[in-house]
Structure 1
């Protein structure tokens, strides 16, 4: 055995992180002592210092059980009223709030009162376990879902309250509480189980010794399966080889009334043989009534509850498809129900089981005999549909006979049969196999009566005509069968194509969506085409409520809102058609990724409509690409935020580092000028004093620009200063930057080419202006006296740019890729020897925060430097908005 297999077995024995453990006290029938044993075990835990709380314990008036219960802390029951009856139920929220180490929950299969959060008590237990609370519980074997049919066959009683078998099989510990039937019957007669009147009724109806022995055997078998699993797990934990996989069980079902019984039997067989199992339904295109579709859907849901896999196949031949699927899945056992042998099945090779036995090789075929049951009632509309199809066969035969009679004088006798074959094909294509065979038989009789000598008689004189008629009947039957099969397959292909088209259409729309809003709009547009359903997508808002992102506005009741909250919190479906808060009209399905729910899909059938199983499965399939698209949109948002954070962090670091030089330099100059004025005073000539004061003023203005830049960018880096984007004209940004630098630019010949008709920018205007000011000031400092400086602007489809060109010393081409690094200074480059090389790094941070970029090239006439700021150009606002803004 591999080390990984042993590790998996050891990990499987450990409790899942943060999840409680379940201990089940299993019994064959009420009264064997399950509750008493559970309370005794709880007292043992209490003496060991474990916090124990009794959630719900049914004593049924037994004094010794009540005495044990009185010695334990109890959670008060939650009282509710339903149709005038007071009902006491377990207070799930109270237990979750108290959060004890151990909770006692009696009668695990109990159905909760209508309006409760969960339909079944075992679902409450699952929520307690998920909260990290251990649970002791009791259950009788007749409540296991897979045994429902067997229990009814043994006792004659249909048990209504059931629970999935996997609840018991996944328990951390299972304890079988056994009592011989004779002792249990004695306890019943003594009134220790029920009151005397109920005891006598129970003995007569359920608690016979034969029934108790049978139930006792079922309980022991269930416990044996659990023990076998534990034994197998123990061997694997020791590193020994586990038993080899013994194949897979496939159960093939149809939409008949025995489908659920077959599913339960398959679950028990798979459990006893330790086989994984799958429910397989082959859709051959047969038109089914609503009742048959509901039975099929119910059987599929039952298989999912019992731990089976549900597989839907589409093909024409059911037997061949089942055998092929069994081969692909390496199944060893195929279980089917017995088919009713109609005359058509006898004619074409028997029922499904007979064809499986004939065609399968090395595959075990089990056939479950069907119970005697009343024939299904057929509604008037179905009768009408059937008689219409057979009426179509009769009309087609009459018309074919008339046409053949009309052309009989022109065509030879063998060619006349083609007219009848055409009629058979027409009926087969428009209806089903039965009417097509009826049309073939009627055509056979009409052909014989009208055209085979002697005419107008069913007698045949020539032997070769007998062969002709038989051949005609065979060809008519075969062509009718083939045409009917092709029609069913065509319908199946249409259904498959529709589902595939739905998936491809939604995937194509989601692929083009770049953010969450676009993804939600694409999904809403796609799902709105389903006219029989109301569909919405919800998302949590900051206040813990719900925002309807698409499909709204909608109003939800408190029950529906509670179901949505539960589905989001537990990442499981809830609402209508589920076992959790099913009283509302909406079915909630969480759209989840690895990190949890991303959205909540709500579906509500419109008045007079219903949510079919096919629609439900299609919605579940569509939720996968939707979840991927939402996760992709979230990832893109996170990456954009990370990029912006990186840019602003780099900018903040650069600005903070500039304090060491770019702020100290003007302060030093100002201090020196002031010290000189204070020390020499009137001794300094008036012109020199004025020059010192003007230098101090210029350095103060320079310092003011640096401080403003530092404060804005530092707040941006910490997230305190957001990008307050607004629509602004490029000409306004350029004009404001030039106005701020008019003193610096005064000695130069400045040429400005910024067309007023340029598209608007959606930016933080102050930051872009500051970036442009930095570039202009940098160019002015390195331009020769009375040199030329150009500021130009332009735009293409995607970007708008500002270009600043000078006649300075320029930047070597090999240094242009490095000038945006912090603290880099070229000898003849951007800042020469006068700075720390932070100017362009700061500008790059400003522009980069808007998703833009900076490029460096040659200046005027190939001399100097040209620095170009590129900014993304968004879609322009509407003309109506512009006009309204101008009017304002």
Structure 2
């Protein structure tokens, strides 16, 4: 158990490593002493030797509070101009450039002036914490986002500056600064909070006894919730089971103006019950007007800020979709908002259907319209086009029915009007379909039910016929309209799925980073939307793709912030929203891989549907970039391993093969220097000859190394000339005459061989390397055969020996550098570079080297194949 606790504490410490600690001084209202308490704590920290700096502190002219600033180092404020006013703001850049250990940031809910990095001060605090700086800050309870509606109901004041509840829940310490309402009112009257004129207005408008008591209760509840969250964290830190989460909260999102009220209530309910929560909007295919779309997007953005997930489902039945999703997610609570009924509908209201379908689920219904008058509700504008089509369809159906009235029975004529209703339903929506059904009912009664041209019905059976007709028309029209919306929703889903599938397929086929970038720019961009990627280079800088795109300074700052903080930034967010680009970081387990940028032509923010679509493609895009990076890392690791292997082999070769000739030469020179004339002339000549041979061998080794280096860097120049292949062979044999003295060498040259268009010295060196290799592996007195012959359009130089031979599985390896050194020099010394150089030199002339069996099935034959171009005319 102790080990488990240790592991849990280590994991927690690793998670918090490098991040500053946040201490929040929470109050029920202005004037309770939050700033005073924060400055007292800062003075205590300063006396303890901590590096404290006041980032921004609002004293509001209170002498006691200003006195506590004495002795505290202060960060100079940033001066900005906003709407003709000169304002002072927190200098976030200065604090990050010269970070203290602890910084004081007053008024956490403050909204920054235009042009700041972030829209809100609490986001500045997040950056300070991420940089490892500890922060003391203050906030009033009425600024919490989830309490916004509740505070408005209590005080009648709509608070505009808010802070997400998660900021307080993530705080390391929360200090409740409490002051009884009576004492706070005393301070107000004495002018210790505001000047006397402002104090009287504040007491009348906001600081009433009732309001202060209610706000005090909210502050205590908030502090209790934070304590409860900290207790659960301590449980997990000690390796014990935290209080279990009871399912999930599902919230049905609507398009009413009061949808944000539902989201705030859902956030508070989720915090109280310790439930994760999701805001779900069911797209039935019904088109939304601008106001409804704006309400929906505002509620979705608020849910994201408050820590909830946002999801969109497509279904013609919202109740069935919500219940199905709740069961799939094993949710325990389903929360919806209830508004006043709007118009006529054949379907049951959502709450009634949920109560009937959601057996075993807790259904919570919030009255959203208790404060909103019915007259204030926006009404959807009626488009005349579909209703005109309904009138036209009814007129055409009446004309057809009139023409066929002599051939058809009266009940069958109604089918013509039903066909018109179905046609309108599948071509438009429910409203025009129901309107067409009503028109068809009236036309059928007026034109065909006796007496004609009258709405009077004489026969009882005709009443039943008309009733059935109206019922069937309404049902079929509503059903057809719903099926049409569902079909449209399925088509949209199919298009998105196919686009995502095609995008994923192309990403999987991309083999390098540039291919991934090309696929992304091609698939995500269109006529109204521009896309770019910012990718890191080795120097750590973000490079824009496509390369010809130039970003403004504020756009690049927003993109770099999204890269570092791993959060969206730019247009439509609360971080640097002044630009036109929306930046989304592409993440992996190791951090940010790239930043995806999207910009509309009209520079308007992306709606939730577009952001959701881009977020869905961000995952496969991030995986593709991670795969490409992994491939590049593996290739670099492979090359590094091969380089290390070659370096080790080279060092081993240098330490053995190059030292051996030097040792022989040094021994001969020492003997000559020590003994001098005492050495017989023949022995002295032998020592000098051995010295010369070892010096030549050393020269060949060094030449091989230099040639291999030139081949590897592509700096080997071919000074071609026409040369007789017999001359090349004679020169090579002359160079190796001392080594060939103990072997039986036979040469066979085909008569009439053409001239070679080659670099004579390189081909000679290649032939010398092949011959030296054959000599090294030949036994004393062994046979060596050299053939020059013409085969097709190439000249072949073959060197065959009677050595130990090369197994077929190893024949391709003999051209690898240091192969001989790696497997041992059983036939003599050598660096293992000779055949590799031979292959490189012959390959530089467009030829190749092959390996075959040697003489009489023993040994090895190395055959050089050189191309034969057309010879010049004889001079």
TM-score (norm 2): 0.85
Count of residue pairs brought into register by the alignment: 832
Is 1:136 the counterpart of 2:136 in the alignment? Answer: yes
Asked if the contact 1:35/1:57 (under 8 Å) is kept, the reply is yes
Which residue does 1:558 correspond to in 2?
A: 553
Deviation at 1:662, TM superposition (A): 3.0
Which residue does 1:537 correspond to in 2?
A: 533
Which residue does 1:458 correspond to in 2?
A: 455
Which whole-Å deviations, capped at 9, do the CAs of 1:804-832 have from their partners, x for residues lacking one? Answer: 77344352538838976999879xx9965
| Distance in 2 of aligned mates of 1:661 and 1:246 | 73
| Distance in 2 of aligned mates of 1:564 and 1:755 | 67
Asked if the contact 1:775/1:804 (under 8 Å) is kept, the reply is no
Asked if the contact 1:856/1:866 (under 8 Å) is kept, the reply is yes
Which residue does 2:279 correspond to in 1?
A: 279
| Distance in 1 of aligned mates of 2:60 and 2:409 | 89
Which residue does 2:38 correspond to in 1?
A: 38
| Distance in 2 of aligned mates of 1:75 and 1:831 | 73
Deviation at 1:98, TM superposition (A): 3.0
Give the match's secondary structure for 1:70: coil
Is 1:430 the counterpart of 2:427 in the alignment? Answer: yes
TM-score (norm 1): 0.83
| Distance in 2 of aligned mates of 1:210 and 1:274 | 30
**Using a 3 Å threshold, how does the CA distance of structure 1 residues 62 and 683 change in structure 2: closer, same or farther?**
closer
Which residue does 1:485 correspond to in 2?
A: 482
Give the match's secondary structure for 1:634: helix
Deviation at 1:410, TM superposition (A): 2.7
Which residue does 2:316 correspond to in 1?
A: 316
Is 1:411 the counterpart of 2:411 in the alignment? Answer: no
Which residue does 1:704 correspond to in 2?
A: 699
Deviation at 1:378, TM superposition (A): 5.6
**Using a 3 Å threshold, how does the CA distance of structure 1 residues 702 and 278 change in structure 2: closer, same or farther?**
same
Asked if the contact 2:767/2:838 (under 8 Å) is kept, the reply is no
Give the match's secondary structure for 1:44: helix
Q: 1:623 aligns with which of 605, 611, 618?
A: 618
Asked if the contact 1:3/1:239 (under 8 Å) is kept, the reply is no
Which residue does 1:389 correspond to in 2?
A: 386
Deviation at 1:844, TM superposition (A): 12
Which whole-Å deviations, capped at 9, do the CAs of 1:665-693 have from their partners, x for residues lacking one? Answer: 555676799899997999989xx98x999
| Distance in 1 of aligned mates of 2:200 and 2:763 | 92
Which residues in structure 2 correspond to 1:462-861 (within 5 Å)?
Answer: 462-528=459-525, 530-541=526-537, 546-550=542-546, 552-607=547-602, 610-667=605-662, 700-710=695-705, 724=713, 743-744=731-732, 748-749=747-748, 774=769, 777-779=772-774, 787-788=785-786, 806-809=800-803, 811=805, 813=807, 816=810, 832-835=826-829, 838-839=832-833, 858=853
Asked if the contact 1:532/1:609 (under 8 Å) is kept, the reply is no
| Distance in 1 of aligned mates of 2:2 and 2:94 | 46
Deviation at 1:803, TM superposition (A): 11
Which whole-Å deviations, capped at 9, do the CAs of 1:405-428 have from their partners, x for residues lacking one? Answer: 122223333332222222111111
**Using a 3 Å threshold, how does the CA distance of structure 1 residues 588 and 681 change in structure 2: closer, same or farther?**
farther
| Distance in 2 of aligned mates of 1:567 and 1:659 | 52
**Using a 3 Å threshold, how does the CA distance of structure 1 residues 819 and 615 change in structure 2: closer, same or farther?**
closer
Is 1:348 the counterpart of 2:347 in the alignment? Answer: yes
Deviation at 1:745, TM superposition (A): 5.6
Give the match's secondary structure for 1:132: coil
**Using a 3 Å threshold, how does the CA distance of structure 1 residues 723 and 297 change in structure 2: closer, same or farther?**
farther
Asked if the contact 2:447/2:454 (under 8 Å) is kept, the reply is yes
| Distance in 1 of aligned mates of 2:727 and 2:143 | 86
Deviation at 1:325, TM superposition (A): 1.2
Which whole-Å deviations, capped at 9, do the CAs of 1:634-679 have from their partners, x for residues lacking one? Answer: 2222222222222222222222222344334555676799899997
Is 1:112 the counterpart of 2:112 in the alignment? Answer: yes
Give the match's secondary structure for 2:158: coil
Which residue does 1:368 correspond to in 2?
A: 366
Q: Which moved more, 1:168-177 or 1:806-815?
A: 806-815
Which residue does 2:737 correspond to in 1?
A: none
Deviation at 1:697, TM superposition (A): 6.9
| Distance in 2 of aligned mates of 1:444 and 1:332 | 47
Give the match's secondary structure for 2:123: helix
Which residues in structure 2 correspond to 1:107-256 (within 5 Å)?
Answer: 107-234=107-234, 241-256=241-256
| Distance in 1 of aligned mates of 2:856 and 2:506 | 50
| Distance in 2 of aligned mates of 1:612 and 1:735 | 76
Q: Which moved more, 1:117-126 or 1:334-343?
A: 334-343
Which whole-Å deviations, capped at 9, do the CAs of 1:475-519 have from their partners, x for residues lacking one? Answer: 222221121111111221122122212221221111121111222
Give the match's secondary structure for 1:663: helix
Asked if the contact 2:394/2:439 (under 8 Å) is kept, the reply is yes
Asked if the contact 2:333/2:361 (under 8 Å) is kept, the reply is yes
Larger radius of gyration: 2
Which residue does 1:884 correspond to in 2?
A: none
| Distance in 2 of aligned mates of 1:792 and 1:109 | 90
**Using a 3 Å threshold, how does the CA distance of structure 1 residues 651 and 229 change in structure 2: closer, same or farther?**
closer
Asked if the contact 2:584/2:596 (under 8 Å) is kept, the reply is yes
Asked if the contact 2:54/2:103 (under 8 Å) is kept, the reply is yes
**Using a 3 Å threshold, how does the CA distance of structure 1 residues 564 and 455 change in structure 2: closer, same or farther?**
same
Which residue does 1:873 correspond to in 2?
A: none
Give the match's secondary structure for 2:469: helix
Asked if the contact 2:108/2:137 (under 8 Å) is kept, the reply is yes
**Using a 3 Å threshold, how does the CA distance of structure 1 residues 723 and 321 change in structure 2: closer, same or farther?**
farther
Give unmatched runs, 5+ long, in structure 2: 735-744, 756-760, 866-875
Give the match's secondary structure for 2:586: strand
| Distance in 2 of aligned mates of 1:177 and 1:823 | 77
Which residue does 1:56 correspond to in 2?
A: 56
Which residue does 1:288 correspond to in 2?
A: 288
| Distance in 2 of aligned mates of 1:472 and 1:728 | 96
Give the match's secondary structure for 1:469: helix
